[in-house]
Amino acid sequence: MSLQVFVLLSVTGLGLAGVYFLIASGLSLIFGLMDVLNLAHGLFFTVGSYATWWVMSRFDVIGSLGLRFAVALLVAAAMGWAVGWATERLFVRRFYGDHVTQILITLGISLAGVALIGGWFSYDPRTFPLPELFGQVVVIAGARIPVSRLLILAVSVVLLVALLTFLRRTRHGLIIRAGVENRQMVQAMGIDVAKSFTLVFALGGLLAAIGGVLGAVFFAGITPEFGLNVLIFAFIVVVIGGLGSVEGTALSAVLVGLTQQFVNFFAGAGVGDLTVVVLLAATLLLRPQGLLGEVAR
């Protein structure tokens, strides 16, 4: 394998890992804190990508595509936050302690949301104009890397650092981390964990929606069902990384993204996806709690 191919595949794989991390980290936190498997998380992702499409193709008032993309990121983040907040407040909150109903509710929201988006914007794949800069290439070690890949990577790394800082340095983050470890104890200390539940959902929605923006750029097109497909790999990432661990999720996203890219390239499309599932099975057999997870659930 030449160095160029290696570098190109690595950067592409890391870009994919960034998209996976953004959707999987919220999923992992929600599960770690509240034991809720949020099937609506794919919808948050889809909301982000359709917000981007909407801004990029309709906001003609903003002439510069680069500026328009920045606006799209903000709109997607705000909508992801709002949808995540509403999902927890209006639906999930009503069924504390009843995990099956919570999963069923998020499943229903997910399917209804996808059908709603499909009904409004049709199920046809959509593409949209992107800033010219995204299509240009940078030469690194002889490999021609599209700028968009580097941008995806940069945004994901910034968000990873921001998320870790938030969890480690702020009071809200401290409560979330403590809640993941032992929810009853946090409650016993008189802290209102329910507030953290809403926060984690809204935060997860925001991260997934930004993942949707980057995913739309990465895959160069969107469909309403797309979030569900990505969600499946996000589940795999979460389980391999260890439920509730952000660091584990980041590590496993890199592992899964790189494996998928390299194997798909050398062994044929689809084989990489299968390899990732084998990776999951191996993790379960050898280390059921995941790479950095403390306890298996």
Partner 1 sequence: MSASVTQHTEATAPSAAIPAPRRSRTAPIVMGVIGLVLFAVPFVGATIPGVFTGPMSSPGTLQILAVGLVFAGVAMSYDLLLGYTGLLSLGHAFYFALGLYGTNLLMRLFALSYVAAVPLALVITLVVALVFGSVALRVRGVAFAMVTLAFAEAFHVFVEADPARISGGEEGLPLSSAQVPDLFTGVVNTRWVYWLALTFALITFVICRQAVASRAGRVWQAIRENEDRVELLGLIPFHFKLLSFGLSAVLAAGGGAVYLLLVRGATPGSASSVFTLNLIIMVVLGGLGRLWGAALGGLVFGYLQLRLPGLARSGVFDPLPAWLEGPLTEPLFILAVLFVILVMFAPGGLASLPDRLGLRRSEP
218 near partner 1, judged by CB under 8 A:
no
Please choose, out of 53-61, 63-71, 93-101, 204-212, the segment that lies near partner 1 by the rule CB under 8 A. Answer: 93-101
Nearer to partner 1, 129 or 288 (CB): 288
Stretch that binds partner 1, among 74-82, 170-178, 191-199, 289-297 (CB under 8 A): 289-297
Q: Minimum distance from CB of 266 to partner 1 (Å)?
A: 13
The answer to whether 100 contacts partner 1 (rule: CB under 8 A) is: yes
Is 238 an interacting residue with respect to partner 1 (CB under 8 A)?
Answer: yes
- 120 interacts with partner 1 by CB under 8 A: yes
Instruction: Note whether 158 binds partner 1 by CB under 8 A.
Output: no
Residue 104 near partner 1 by CB under 8 A: yes
18-37 mask for partner 1 (x: CB under 8 A)? -------------x---x-x
Q: What length does the chain have? A: 297
Contact by Cβ (8 Å): 148, 217? yes
Among 1, 61, 188, 285, binds partner 1 (CB under 8 A): 285
- Secondary structure (DSSP) of the chain: --HHHHHHHHHHHHHHHHHHHHHHHHHHHHHHHH----TTHHHHHHHHHHHHHHHHHH-TTS--HHHHHHHHHHHHHHHHHHHHHHIIIIIGGGGTT-HHHHHHHHHHHHHHHHHHHHHHH-SS-B-----HHHH-EEEETTEEEEHHHHHHHHHHHHHHHHHHHHHHHSHHHHHHHHHHH-HHHHHHTT--HHHHHHHHHHHHHHHHHHHHHHHHHHHT-B-TTHHHHHHHHHHHHHHHH-TT-HHHHHHHHHHHHHHHHHHHHHH-TTHHHHHHHHHHHHHHHH-TT-SS-SS--
Token code pair at residue 23: 């959707």
For partner 1, which stretch binds (CB under 8 A), given 53-61, 143-151, 191-199, 282-290?
282-290
Give min distance, CB of 174 to partner 1, in A: 22
Closest CB 281 distance from partner 1, rounded Å: 5
The binder of partner 1 chosen from 67, 115, 162, 194 (CB under 8 A): 115
Determine the size of the site formed for partner 1 (CB under 8 A): 50
Report the 10 Å Cβ neighbour count for 201.
30
Compute the least distance from the CB of residue 89 to partner 1, in Å: 14
Q: What does the binding site for partner 1 look like in residue numbers (CB under 8 A)?
A: 31, 35, 37, 91, 94-95, 97-101, 103-105, 107-112, 114-116, 118-120, 225, 228, 232, 235-236, 238-239, 243, 268-271, 273-274, 277, 280-281, 284-285, 288-289, 295-297
